Amino acid sequence: FSPEVLTTLDPALGSRIRAELTARGVAVVTGKGVARIERQGHELSATTATGERWPADLVLVAAGARPATAFARIVGIPLGEGGAIRVDRTMATSVPGIYAAGDCVETWHRLLKRNAYLPLGTTAHKQGRVAGENMVGGRREFQGSLGTQSVKVFDQIAARTGLRDKSAAAAGFDPLTVALTGWDHKVYYPGAEAIHLRITGDRSTGRLLGAQIVGHRRSEISKRIDIFATALYRGLQVEELCDLDLSYTPPLSSPWDPVQMAAMQWCAQAKSN
């Protein structure tokens, strides 16, 4: 079981989302599995494997996504990772004339250079466009996903893209992950909020591999994770982020954006190692 909320983030950032939940009156319990859910009259309760009982008015079970592909088995379409439909880059299955897209299919991962299961709305839209165009005679290929995503938890935004340290190492990279806390705009301008970043790159090549950010909903977290996603799409080095010509005005940013400050921190640590 995960030690923190939001398993898509490193625990160091997940703990910040836990803090936001706790501050809003949410009791957060991690690292324990639910053994059973019971109803007694109008009251529900969830009991952990260690016997702790949590009464509730409503129990919401969010156990992840699983592809609904029973129909594919019936017509003989091969399935891949996690039971998702195996498709090529044109979104065609191995059965002539049948295409598939969205949460029911495997997705080409742009960094891993192989298929993975990444059920995301943005990915589904792109795959649907590719499949639709090719079904009517087009010649388009899906360019791959980086797993870029963001979520709002009360006033905090958590976002990530690319690979984290563990997944990067499993893929054969030599990852280095560096953390940085900066400000979303110049601190002398009222309302500055802290932004917490973690950036992962490959020690041997200097290539950017992934990024994670947590910050206030006014801090343009989505914009900043999209900068990282764009850099990943183009295969940039971490050091190249320092040279990006990003916009600046004191109410919104700093001459060195936190994205670039994190990149500089990564480069300094990579060189010192």
Domain boundaries, the chain: 11-56, 70-135, 149-272
Q: Does residue 41 carry a pLDDT above 90? A: no
pTM: 0.92
The H or E element that residue 180 is part of is strand 175-183
In CATH terms, are 70-135 and 149-272 the same topology?
yes
- Class (C level, CATH) for 149-272: alpha beta
* Length of the chain as a residue count: 273
Q: DSSP label at 221?
A: H
Instruction: Tell me the per-residue pLDDT of 44-79, one tens digit each, with 9 for 90 and over.
Output: 999 998 899 999 999 988 888 899 999 898 889 999
Give CATH superfamily name and number for 70-135. FAD/NAD(P)-binding domain (3.50.50.60)
Phi-psi category of residue 132: left, alpha or beta, with phi > 0 → left and psi -120 to 50 → alpha: alpha
- For 67, the 3-state DSSP assignment is coil
Tokens of 120: 């995301």
Residue type, 248: Y
Q: How far apart are the first and last CA of the chain?
A: 33
Instruction: Tell me the per-residue pLDDT of 87-137, one tens digit each, with 9 for 90 and over.
Output: 999 999 999 999 999 999 999 999 999 999 999 999 999 999 999 999 999
Name the residue with tokens 């090549």: 205
